[in-house]
């Protein structure tokens, strides 16, 4: 139960001239946790707020958000990282903390419904992907952002859904989420200098295609890819041989991991690296530090 009177009293002391008083107030507000953020934001927007109090409120809100994200990211990692959307939305909340999960789910389900209405269970895998590509790129008009490639918004799922443009990995994530909700065995491929997806062959799924199926899909340890798809290039389909050609062009030695489905942690790390690079170009050290902390936490040897 939030004690509104206590919060108001604490906020009133944030521009006290005694530094020790301010430190104790900030500590107490931080301990109260994310439940008090709406109250802090409400007080942040009042007309007569001092610049000092506003700045300190802003810092407390950011600290609480950061602490909450860290705790949730730890929990996601410890619980097996099976839910890709949950992990990606944790990254999203670094810049857009108020994103509505239901809004995202509804958006993805709308794309899924449009594909499902065109789909038949007895179609070949190529035919299913052709329909998915038509709906995803021609009906919903998703496109790779070549004009402003390093814009951080190209890595935030909520903004990609709103703008209908993104970078290779954000488009691949949305494409994968839609495909898997349709029970299509599409998984991320962590290719160097690019991110694509693969359609697995001999994927065991004897159940009929159902609109309300929300089960998470996990690739088998010995999964093989039937063909590859590039969501950044309108879902172009190509065989394994093309990856060898690409790796040769960029002078990278082929490795098995470049041809096989990657883990959800690998996807999050790739997204975070993109964001670090984007904020380095924008010279934003605060955001760089936030994402470097998340990267360290996702590392296999990060202490909990």
* CATH number, position 20: 1.25.10
pLDDT at 124 over 90: yes
Stretch 43-47: mean pLDDT: 69
pLDDT at 206 over 50: no
Query: Is the domain of 70 the same as that of 139?
Result: no
Q: What's the number of domains the chain is made of?
A: 2
Stretch 123-128: mean pLDDT: 94
Interval 143-171: pLDDT, tens: 999 999 999 999 999 999 999 999 999 99
Query: Is the domain of 253 the same as that of 179?
Result: yes
Query: Is the domain of 51 the same as that of 136?
Result: no
The larger pLDDT score, comparing residue 265 to residue 209, is at: 265
Tell me, yes or no, if the pTM score tops 0.75: yes
pLDDT at 239 over 90: yes
- Asked whether residue 198 is domain-assigned, the answer is yes
Q: What was the pLDDT predicted at 301?
A: 59
- What's the chain's average pLDDT? 89
The larger pLDDT score, comparing residue 222 to residue 38, is at: 38
Query: Is the domain of 243 the same as that of 118?
Result: yes
pLDDT at 43 over 80: no
Query: Is the domain of 74 the same as that of 110?
Result: no
Stretch 217-240: mean pLDDT: 90
pLDDT at 224 over 70: yes
- Asked whether residue 35 is domain-assigned, the answer is yes
Residue 274: pLDDT band by 50, 70, 90 thresholds?
Answer: very high
Query: Is the domain of 103 the same as that of 241?
Result: yes
Query: Is the domain of 92 the same as that of 18?
Result: no
Query: Is the domain of 162 the same as that of 141?
Result: yes
- Asked whether residue 279 is domain-assigned, the answer is yes
pLDDT at 197 over 90: yes
What share of the chain has pLDDT > 70, as a percent? 91
Domain boundary among 50, 78, 106: 78
Of 24-33, 41-50, 184-193, least confident by mean pLDDT is 41-50
- Asked whether residue 303 is domain-assigned, the answer is no
pLDDT at 209 over 70: no
Q: What was the pLDDT predicted at 216?
A: 72
**Do residues 19 and 52 lie in contact, with contact meaning Cβ atoms separated by under 8 Å?**
no
Q: What was the pLDDT predicted at 148?
A: 96
Range of the domain at 203: 84-298
Query: Is the domain of 52 the same as that of 71?
Result: yes
Query: Is the domain of 132 the same as that of 185?
Result: yes
Query: Is the domain of 106 the same as that of 56?
Result: no
Domain boundary among 59, 78, 97: 78
- Asked whether residue 304 is domain-assigned, the answer is no
Query: Is the domain of 100 the same as that of 74?
Result: no
Q: What was the pLDDT predicted at 208?
A: 46
Domain boundary among 30, 46, 78: 78
């Amino acid at each position: 139960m939030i004690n509104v009177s206590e919060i108001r009293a604490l906020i009133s002391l944030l521009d006290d001239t005694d530094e020790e008083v301010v430190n104790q107030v900030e500590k107490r507000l931080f301990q109260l946790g994310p439940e008090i953020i709406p109250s802090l934001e409400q007080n942040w927007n009042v007309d007569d707020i001092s610049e000092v109090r506003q700045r300190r409120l802003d810092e407390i809100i950011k600290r609480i958000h950061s602490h909450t994200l860290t705790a949730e990211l730890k929990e996601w990692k410890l619980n097996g990282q099976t839910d890709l959307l949950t992990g990606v939305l944790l990254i999203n909340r670094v810049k857009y903390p108020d994103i509505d999960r239901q809004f995202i789910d509804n958006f993805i389900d709308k794309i899924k419904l449009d594909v499902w209405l065109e789909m038949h269970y007895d179609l070949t895998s190529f035919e299913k992907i052709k329909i998915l590509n038509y709906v995803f790129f021609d009906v919903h008009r998703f496109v790779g952002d070549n004009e402003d490639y390093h814009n951080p918004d190209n890595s935030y799922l909520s903004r990609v859904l709103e703008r209908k443009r993104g970078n290779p990995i954000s488009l691949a994530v949305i494409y994968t989420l839609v495909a898997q909700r349709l029970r299509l065995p599409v998984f991320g491929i962590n290719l160097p200098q690019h991110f694509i997806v693969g359609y697995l062959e001999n994927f065991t799924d004897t159940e009929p295609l159902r609109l309300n199926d929300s089960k998470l899909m996990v690739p088998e340890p010995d999964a093989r890819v039937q063909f590859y798809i590039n969501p950044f290039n309108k879902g172009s389909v190509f065989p394994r041989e093309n990856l060898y050609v690409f790796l040769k062009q960029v002078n990278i030695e082929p490795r098995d991991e470049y041809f096989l489905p990657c883990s959800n942690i690998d996807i999050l790390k790739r997204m975070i690296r993109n964001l670090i690079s984007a904020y380095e170009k924008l010279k934003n050290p605060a955001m760089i530090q936030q994402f470097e902390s998340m990267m360290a936490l996702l590392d296999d040897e990060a202490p909990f």
